[in-house]
Amino acid sequence: MFISGKSLSGGQGEGERGVAHREAVDLNCRTTPVHRQSRRFPNVMNTTEFFFPVAVAVCLCGCASSRSAVSTKSVGADAPSVRKVDYGRTPEVKELAERARQLGNEVYPRVLALLADDASKLPQQFDIVFKKRTWRGMGGVTLGARIRLNAGWLANNPASLDAILIHEMAHVAQHYKWYRWFKTPGYWTEGIADYVRYKLGYTNGWRCPQCSVAFPHYTYGCACAGAFLLFVDATSGSNVFRQLNTELRRGSYSEKFFAKTTGQGLAELWAQFQKTTAFTPVAAEVNKLYNVLGYSNGKPPRDVRVRFKAYLKQQPETNDLLEAAREMKGKPLKDVLRFYAFIRYFDEAAKFLGSLGEKGQLPGLARGELSETWPGMSDLESCGEPYPMSRTFSCMKNGDPSAYHYIVVRESKDSSWKLQRAWRTSSDGRIIEEFPVP
């Protein structure tokens, strides 16, 4: 998304310690540590505070691009796409830097070919800089023709380099002017960058082309918008995508674009897309809420907050949601809707885990020892069908600095949740004990 002339998305991943990062996913593809708030779910855990991310968070995709002036002067046919790679302040990522150079030179010409029939007017070269810190801790931030990569995060998540860098290269090639940012919907900007990554075959097992709890609607950008553009591409041809990118670069885009180029309006195409497997059940729930609240093409009615509160009052067991809505007063409504999606995503599994805790059946924890529980975000970006589904949780007990982790699974819609794995990690994230699962 574009903020103050910058297009933003980023990532913070999770290793074996997994959910201990306690981060959430935001449509803007940014990644920041989340401000945790204790959340007690109704009928879930009597003695456990279920930590839920309420504030803005950022997800597993590296990206950001400013609309500053970028030279598109023609360069020699043999000139490399990557002008330079600077890792002088982060020498520990030398191997990653060399991989970034190689990937940029190999893939950027393909990115250009994908975005435009005539790429001569797009930036032909760019620089890569590995930084100790990036804006809000994002995995990648692109300003003009300079891509800044988060060296610390990538050192811990080297497998994510390809996906993040290609997303960032797409932002370089988009070449949107800063003075047209208000005419360029951020969700298409980020969706196009993910679309490029998908078309070139880089998913890396996460951030798949689908609408899910992290990005339940195309207006959330990134994965969902990218999946929707793949659908339009498959049904109407890739030229529609190129035309969309051209309109965005010119600052002439409007919602009439899809009707003019495909013969079908945006709402009609979106309704067709919802019938595909890329539109997951949790996205369907959020979309249902959108419809109930009176959204039109992702745009809310003026009294949407009043409608949302009235809707929650009609739902069973929504005291927690009402409390969250009150706490989030003044925040963008999308944050509230995203919170609603997270609740729906984790609720049943959390209740199952809570029931095990109340019975003293959680490996490593006796009855009454559970003090805190928070959900893991690593499942949010997983690829594949809705079932079998899994949810990951981390727990704490009073007086113990280590963390207890649990994975629960559900094989099918008609089956029950089951405990699949249980383990304990030290305060620095090392696995120190695996528990047998009954």
Q: What backbone torsions phi and psi does residue 208 show, to the nearest 5 degrees?
A: -75, 165
Q: Which range (258-272, 284-298, 394-408) has the least confidence?
A: 284-298
Q: Where on the phi/psi map is residue 412: left (φ > 0), alpha (ψ -120 to 50), or beta? A: beta
In a domain, 83, yes or no: yes
Mapping DSSP onto H, E and C, the string for 263-292 reads CCCHHHHHHHHCCCCCECHHHHHHHHHHHH
In a domain, 274, yes or no: yes
Which pTM does this prediction carry? 0.75
Distances (CA, A) of 412 to 62, 274, 314, 317: 33, 21, 29, 24
Q: Which range (65-69, 177-181, 193-197, 394-398) has the least confidence?
A: 65-69
For 253, the domain range is 2-14+58-279
Instruction: Report the pLDDT averaged over residues 280-299.
Output: 81
In a domain, 438, yes or no: no
Is the predicted pLDDT of residue 207 greater than 50, yes or no?
yes
pLDDT tier for residue 212 given thresholds of 50, 70 and 90: confident
**Token pair of 278 as six digits:** 């890329």
In a domain, 395, yes or no: no
Is the predicted pLDDT of residue 205 greater than 80, yes or no?
no
Q: Which is higher by pLDDT, 236 or 288?
A: 236
In a domain, 169, yes or no: yes
Q: Which is higher by pLDDT, 212 or 297?
A: 212
CATH number (domain holding residue 168):
1.10.390
Distances (CA, A) of 155 to 32, 90, 399: 17, 10, 32
In a domain, 120, yes or no: yes
Mean pLDDT, the chain, rounded, equals: 79
Instruction: Look at the chain and report how many structural domains it folds into.
Output: 1
pLDDT digits (tens, 9 = 90+) for 35-83: 333 344 433 443 334 444 433 333 334 454 554 445 555 565 678 999 9
pLDDT digits (tens, 9 = 90+) for 294-336: 887 667 888 888 888 788 778 765 555 666 556 556 566 666 6
Angle at which helices 238-250 and 186-199 pack, to 10 degrees? 140
What is the three-class DSSP state of 211?
Answer: strand
In a domain, 172, yes or no: yes
**Token pair of 1 as six digits:** 């998304």
**Token pair of 295 as six digits:** 């959204």
Instruction: Report the pLDDT averaged over residues 193-209.
Output: 79
Q: Distance between CA 173 and CA 180 in Å, rounded?
A: 16
Q: What backbone torsions phi and psi does residue 375 show, to the nearest 5 degrees?
A: -85, 155
pLDDT digits (tens, 9 = 90+) for 399-429: 899 999 999 999 998 999 999 999 999 988 8
In a domain, 244, yes or no: yes
